[in-house]
Chains A and B, each alone.
Chain A
Amino acid sequence: MIQATNLTKSFGDILAISGIDLKIEDGQVFGLIGTNGAGKSTFLRMAAGILRPDRGTISIDKRPVFENPEVKKEFFYISDDVAFFANTTPVDMAVFFGKIYESFDMGRFNDLMDKFGLEKKRKINTFSKGMKKQLSVILGLCAKTRYLYCDETFDGLDPVMRQAVKSLFAGDMENRDFTPIIASHNLRELEDICDTVGLLHKGGIILSKNIEDARADVHKVQCVFRDDESRNRTFEELKVIASENRGKLYVLTIRGSEDDIERTLRAESPIFMEMLPLSLEEIFISETGVEGYDIKKIIC
């Protein structure tokens, strides 16, 4: 488990991370969402032991990360602006990482390079941005570390590659102890891959929630009430987080279990009732609305 306790980091007068408390459990895909300047990269760089926290701690299995090689062997960090040594080829980088990470799988590296169609002996500085990202993901996966930090890695990948990487992640999670932590500003991109999502804003964590739990806890219903009394009773009995209506057609976002909501609504015998799927964005809007954040300004 990765745990951050009161994690704080400033760069001069700029407070990048402010007192974050966060737990990332093993065996799940953790998404770190936030706009530009929210502190995603700073958090990941502290988690990778690159930056020393000003206050607080960040640890893996209660062992501090900073300047701790034994702990650092547990993760591989892919930065948003990927760095490779000058005039090197993918094979050179693989050999380098192979010497640093004992568990590096060269065979898998060759295999994945072939599958992704990347030339192993071509100079990396001739690769496109997307190809460099692919290479960094391949190297990260072949290192076979417990954790893989991906800082806006998916942003540079085309949809096909994105899917391929997602299935690789899924495969690795099934076969070994593997926890990817993915930072992105695109909530929709992470929707179908992340198990847990943490929302960063202005250096602080607004929300950290398991998506399934979030989905199970909030539902969207489209209905037409018989009359106003029926509608008012429904609003009193259920925890309606958000409500929109076009004439008599109401779209309600309600917190509670699906069974309870359905039972309560059917008791009012509505003219029309339909459960609608909730997107991750809608879940976050509803969740953060409770906290008073105008989340629409934050997520895209």
Chain B
Amino acid sequence: MNKIVEARFIAPDIKLFRIEAPKIAEKRKPGQFVVVRVDEYGERIPLTIADSDPNEGTVTIIVQGVGKTTKQLNLLEAGDYVRDIVGPLGKPSEIENYGVAVSIGGGVGTAIAYPTAKALKEAGNYVIGIIGGRSKEYVILEDEMKKICDELYPTTDDGSYGFHGFVTHKLQQLLDEGRKIDFVLAIGPIPMMKAVAEVTRPYGIKTVVSLNPIMVDATGMCGGCRVTVDNKTYFACVDGPEFDAHKVDFDNLMKRNRMYIEHEKKALEEFICRIDLMAKKLEKQNA
């Protein structure tokens, strides 16, 4: 059981948590993640460690409510507990001084890119941040990113804030302007990462993405998280989650992530049903 010491929404459906986990806080490196289980019947879900405070013994995670487990997690408040948290898992990001590094985050991907972007800055890179969202309220961690980026470009699909367009359009614009870029880190929805890979491929820019396959144990025991990279099979939880974007088979990953789509729908419907029932009961009690 691990205690939540802080919980607050930072965007619609996106919640930041600080959770007590002293050993993980002490050990973790940028790019690593934890597995969280909310309760006894809970699924094991992987979440990136966005930040940590070794003195206080906490790790920060930022969770987007997309399905049953993440929505259930996002109902928790400071003072509540999660049943399990284990980590730090996965290989840390390979941090080097590449020169000019662009860190691209799409949606909640910004939270996953943030710790690595910070480490890239600390390693001496000139860091350009591109952080996208559907509209203004979905652009997250702008203040945090501003602190560590030499240049920061928020983008929105609907133009309600910052650059009007996708993160890839902004990246293409920088390249068209003839900007020298030595390294790109792109984290977000799979179509976005695939699109970034296509933008940088002709320029031969080293591009790294963080893959998000479905995981179970996340310690290399099940092979459920296997991804195809350079026509070889890797276990993303131990060999990744970061891989060379130009070699990833995104289509296979996209298909594999749809494996339980029917189950996910059902689980979410039942969960919402249950919450509604609970709300009605409470209303009755209070009436």
Q: Do A and B come from the same complex?
A: no
